[in-house]
Amino acid sequence: MVVQLHDNAVNLNRAVCGESAAVSDESVEHWKEEVLSPILEGFESGDVYNVDETGLFYQLMPTKTVSVKGEAYHKGRMSKQRITVLLCSNADGSDKLDPTVIGKFHKPHCFKNSATLPCTYYRSKSAWITVDLFIKFLQASDARMGARNRKVVLFMDKCPAHPTNLGFLQNVKVHFFLAHCTSRLQPMVLGIIHSLKSKYQKAFVLKALVFIDRNEVLKLSILQAMHLLTGAWKMSTKETISNCFHKVGFNVMSSHDKDGDESSSGHA
């Protein structure tokens, strides 16, 4: 993780070689059993959330393709147009908050004739998440939960862009993952983000094929990318999300599960 001193920006291109191997099984299991389990007591799966950010090269075509044996293939210049995407969902996948996109430009030209945006857009000089922008996300989430008269718990990693002074929150209780263990503990990292990016890239390729048929080249705008991203997020299934939460020890029951248990015990 690289912290950029200007604009409070944080580089979230966090692939660290050997991180999973460096984390002891004992530390992970201790966190799941001794730290996570007590936190989850009294919460249903619908009230347990995880938030994380990821970089997205939104104009990047797949690096692999189908070709005829012996036929030369030359790939073009790799696009470096990047945005940061913030994703948040609860443990049973019943509440996927709209994505938040961070780009470099204050008002991209493609927004000019658009009355509404498909998801929230913020600007930072480097297109990375910043402390101020993350606080805006937390404030909006807290107000959203308050309007619904809900009390929820939100898990996130100890990224420098994630503030620790959270006294302003009234309806969202934040807990941090064990440092340096997000590759083993965070649901978003363990499948949810990957699934979203796969769906996004599929939608992007299908759109590009239409242009290829016209002998044109698709140059995706940020607004178009936001539409594709929002569509891909909507297609992310409850099953995928809940499986990723269960994989890392978030074994909490939904209200539906509890109702089922109560009705079963009543017939016994």
Residue 64 is predicted with a pLDDT of 52
Examine the pLDDT at 56 and tell me if it is beyond 50.
yes
Structure tokens at 85: 């995407």
220-249 residue pLDDT tens: 999 999 999 999 999 999 999 999 999 999
169 lies in a domain?
yes
Q: Which residues share a beta bridge with 52?
A: 87
Residue 42 is predicted with a pLDDT of 87
160-173 residue pLDDT tens: 999 999 999 999 99
- Does residue 229 contact residue 119 with C-beta atoms inside 8 Å? yes
15 lies in a domain?
no
3-38 residue pLDDT tens: 333 444 545 444 444 454 567 788 899 899 999 999
CATH number of the domain to which 184 belongs: 3.30.420.10
Residue 80 is predicted with a pLDDT of 78
Q: List the domain range (segments joined by +) for residue 37.
A: 28-60+78-262
256 lies in a domain?
yes
Q: CB neighbours of 37 closer than 8 A, spacing ≥ 6?
A: 249
Total of domains in the chain: 1
21 lies in a domain?
no
Examine the pLDDT at 265 and tell me if it is beyond 90.
no
Q: Which residues share a beta bridge with 172?
A: 152
121-138 residue pLDDT tens: 999 999 999 999 999 999
98 lies in a domain?
yes
**Which pTM does this prediction carry?**
0.81
How far apart are the C-alpha atoms of 111 and 133, rounded to whole Å?
Answer: 20
218 lies in a domain?
yes
16 lies in a domain?
no
117 lies in a domain?
yes
Helix (H, G, I), strand (E, B) or coil at 174: strand
Q: How far is CA 49 from CA 21, 82, 146, in A?
A: 26, 26, 15
Which residue stretches of 118-174 are H helix?
131-147
